[in-house]
Structure formats: C-alpha cells, structure tokens
Amino acid sequence: MDFVTITKTLLEGFGISCLLFAGTLLLATPLGLLFSFCSMSKLKVIRIPSKIFIWVVRGIPLMLFIFLIYYLPGLIGDGNMVNLFDKLDLEATIASGSRELLWYGRFLAVLIAFVVNYACYFSEIFRGGIESISQGQYEAGYVLGMTRTQVFFRVVLKQVVKRIVPPFSNEIITLVKDTALANAIAIPEIIFTAKKMANSAALIWPIFYSAVFYLIFVGVLTLVLGRIEKRLSYFKV
Amino acid sequence: MAYFEVNNISKSFGKTEVLKNIDFSMEKGQVVSIIGSSGSGKTTLLRCINFLCEPDQGQFHLEGELLYEAGEKLSDRLLRDKRMNFGMVFQQFNLFPQYNVKENLCLAPGLLAKEKPDWRTRKKEILQEIAERADRILEQVGLSEKAAAYPCELSGGQQQRVAIARALMLSPKILCFDEPTSALDPELTGEVLRVLKELAQKKITMIIVTHEMNFAREISDKVVFMADGVIAEEGDPERLFTDPQSPRLKAFLAKE
C-alpha cells in the first residue's frame, strides 16, 4: 500500500470521526442547555433528578457508557439478548446486499452515548456561565420593563457566550479526540481503520500517521474558536 | 392623598426583620432622600418599591390608587406594568456591557414599542423617535459624544450618567436611586450629583438612597432617616440636619 492510498483510506475513516464530532456538537449543545436549565430549576423534582443524572453520566467512563447504550436495549425487553443496533446493521446489510457489515446502527449507539455524555459536560459549562452573570443585569432589564425571555436572550446570553467560549473550546477539542472511542464497537473511524491496516498489511506507521489528521483538525478548530473569542472581545463582562 | 404612599411595609429575610412597618409619603415633583447606616433597610425598601423584592405586608398607593398590596399574586405582565411606574438607577450601574451607550438607552424602549398596535405600520418612525429621544437625553446628561462608546470604555461617573439616561428613556413617574455615587471614586461623584440636581430642578419625582449628607440636605424636599428597619425620623432637611430629635439620628450625624 502506498502513501496516497493509505492517506485516502485514513481520510475516509476520519470522515466518520468528523461525522460523529459534528453530530455530537450539534445535538449535545441544545440538549446541554436544556440540562443546564433543569439543573438550575427552582423545582426540586426537576433539579435533583437532573443533578443525579449528570453525576452518573459524568462519573462513568465514556467507553463504558458506549457499551451500556450498545448492549442495554438487548438486555431489557424480551430478554433474548438480541442486540438492537446489531440487528439494525444486519437488516440494513442484507437489504442493501452489501458484502461488508454496515455500521449505521452501531453509529447510532455511539452517537447517543456521545450526545448524552457531552450534553452533561456542556450543561455544567452553561450552568457556570449563566450563574456567573450578576443578578444586577437581570434586575436592570426587569426595571426597564423587559420580560424574562427578553432579558435572557437580549442581555444575558451574549455575556454567557463570551464567558463560556474558553471552557467550551476545551471541551470540544476533547470531543474531537474522544471520537476515537467509537472503535470500541467497531465503527470504522480513523483509529479503527489504521488498526485494521496494521493487522492486514502489517503496517504500524499509519496508526501514528493518523495523529496528523487530528492535529490539523484541532488546529483549524483552535483558529476558529480564537476568532470567535476575538469577536467578543469588544466588551467586558 | 399624597402622590405616592408607602403604607406599613414589612419585610423579613429568614428571621431578620429588615423593614418594620414603614410608612412614608411624597408629593409629585418632590425629592425624598433616604439616609441611614448600612443595614438599616434603605436599599431593601427601594427594591420593594421597584418590585425586585416582595414585601411581607403593606401597600403602595400611587396617584391616590392602590398600586400593590403584599400577598397579591401578580402575573408577569401585570408585575411589569406596575413596575414600570418606577425607574431604578443601581449602585453598580448595571449597564449592558455588549451594547454601546445609545443601544443601552434604546434597547428596552424598542422592545416595548414592538407591543404597540402601530408597530407594524410605523416601525421606522417609532425607532427614529426613540433614537432622537436618546440623543436628547444623552445631551441632557452631557454624554452626546459617547453615544457609540461601550460601557467598558467609560469612567464610573460616565457609566452612572448613562444608567440615569437609560432610566429616563421610559419617563417613569418616580425615579429611584440606590446609592448612585457609592461605587464611584470621590472625584467622580460630582458629575453624577450635578445631573441629579438638574433633574430635581426639572421637578422629576425622585427617591434617593444616599450617603452624601450635604447633597441630601441641599437637594431634598424631605429626608427620611432609617435605622434598624424603621423610620427613626423624617422631615424637612434643614430641620433634620440642624436639629435632630431622635438619639439615633444625633449619633448617626455625629459619625458623619
């Protein structure tokens, strides 16, 4: 296998990593905002369960959480241990006539695990950001006749965004690299692809080479996030 | 009946009684200063008047009508309507940092205008009117040239003047000030007090919580002295400062 072929194959795998990254970011952000509101709720019946939920999810290793989501639907129900996600993949493979086992079902399992896990981390970042805005900002809005919704969206939100960009950046850089965990249930992301190459073609260097893809992606991400931070630097919170 | 009346207002935080049966009244166009040491309940009273804090008992009457009675459950909308009779200037200014000076002034009036029935047809004119009003008020507080500046680019005194301008935008019936100069360096208090004096000359009804005794004496039609949650003494400023009757006011003025 030559360098170009290996690069292409790895790039294919990295595409799947990126898909997982984008899907998680897109879905975990609103879900995280919802979780943060729940964990700040005045109602105990909402606040306490959400705090416990966040504690449990953040307390479990992400890899274990992936296994949990992957195996759990097969264990409950009629108890005949059929793995729901494998079943999806099997059916899709048969239906499409593909010679290789498809991975969409397993991808769904990983995506669910990632979204829930990251929503919990995000929610704590959001909560910290929201709670760091002084009560005076809310009160100033109220005495000017603004509604709660207006105060949140017109006054508080942008200040929260400014506050959370640095910790949020950290978290999504971690997310980029965490996508490698998807190889635990044989999603053909970049590490899985590189390992397969190591086994089949007895090549070890593609595994190390895969780091370059992560580095470039994280580099671009850092630049973009730095830009956002700079655009918000015209005011102080 | 007086223009604005506070009747029998009490408020506790846990076991601490912060306000105990507060009664006072004021006329339209008057300036009432509330003085007293920290922890005497001045700020809490002002916050109750602005519906930022719910009194445990008592009433407010405005223009001869019952405005609020403690225990009354208000919908968000009604609460807002009642609250908007008052304006509030905070000790910490509380400007919106992401908006420039003029945007700080125009934000709330713009949002309120959206609820008006003629918003759709007269949108441009309404926004134009708001912008012109903001220009006039900024001129009044001497900050015309700072219209495009962000709060972080202004001195404390300038920020507080913007906060006053922002409160004036909605023409509240009574404008309240919570220690408007306490967060300022001594050399910056003058410019804020000057604005307050001009407002007093324009007969804007104001309640001012302050530690500036000379200022309170000069500007007020009436001074209210609070101590431990009660009004220990109130009356004409000259009389109050030259001939205090209650021992607590005597002690307070001696310390100042």
The 3-state DSSP class for residue A88 equals helix
The yes-or-no verdict on residue B253 having pLDDT over 80 is yes
Torsion on CA atoms A133, A134, A137, A142, rounded to nearest 10? 110
Show me where the domains of chain A are located. Answer: 3-126+133-231
Determine the Cα–Cα distance for residues B192 and B194; give it in Å rounded to an integer.
Answer: 5
Question: Is B28 in the A-facing interface, judged by CB distances under 8 Å?
Answer: no
Note the pLDDT tens digit of each residue in A84-106. Answer: 888 888 888 888 888 888 898 89
Q: Do B52 and A158 touch (CB under 8 A)?
A: no
Complex prediction ipTM: 0.93
Q: What is the mean pLDDT of chain B?
A: 93
Q: Is A212 on the interface with B (CB under 8 A)?
A: no
Angle formed by the axes of helices B76-83 and A135-143, to 10°? 80
Amino acid making up residue B231: I
Tell me the C-alpha distance between B57 and B71, whole Å. Answer: 7
Chain B nearest CA to A81, separation (Å): 53
CA B206 – CA A144 distance, rounded (Å): 16
Q: Which two tokens stand for residue A130?
A: 């929201």
Q: Which two tokens stand for residue A206?
A: 């593609």
| Interface membership of B122 toward A (CB under 8 Å) | no
Q: Which chain B residues are closer than 8 Å to A150 by Cβ? A: 111
- B92 and A CB contact within 8 Å: yes
CB B21 within 8 A of CB B8: yes
pLDDT tens string B78-131? 999 999 999 999 999 999 999 999 999 999 999 999 988 889 899 999 999 999
* Torsion angle (degrees, nearest 10) of CA B54, B55, B58, B59: -30
Query: Do A163 and A125 form a contact (C-beta atoms < 8 A)?
Result: no
For residue B71, report the phi and psi dihedrals to the nearest 5 degrees. Answer: 95, -20
- pLDDT value, residue B95: 97
B108·A142 Cβ contact <8 A:
no
* Residues 6 or more apart in contact with residue B222 via CB below 8 angstroms: B26, B30, B31, B32, B33, B234, B235, B236, B237
**Structural fold of domain A3-126+133-231:** MetI-like fold (1.10.3720)
Determine the pLDDT at residue A77: 62
Report the alpha-carbon distance of residue A191 to residue A180 in Å, rounded. 6
Nearest to A18 by CA among A220, A196, A168: A220
Query: B98–A235: do the CB atoms touch at under 8 Å?
Result: yes
pLDDT band at A237 (very low <50, low <70, confident <90, very high): confident
3-state helix, strand, coil in chain A (%, to 5): 80, 0, 20
What secondary structure does DSSP assign to B58-84, as a single string?
Answer: EEEEETTEEEEETT----HHHHHHHHT
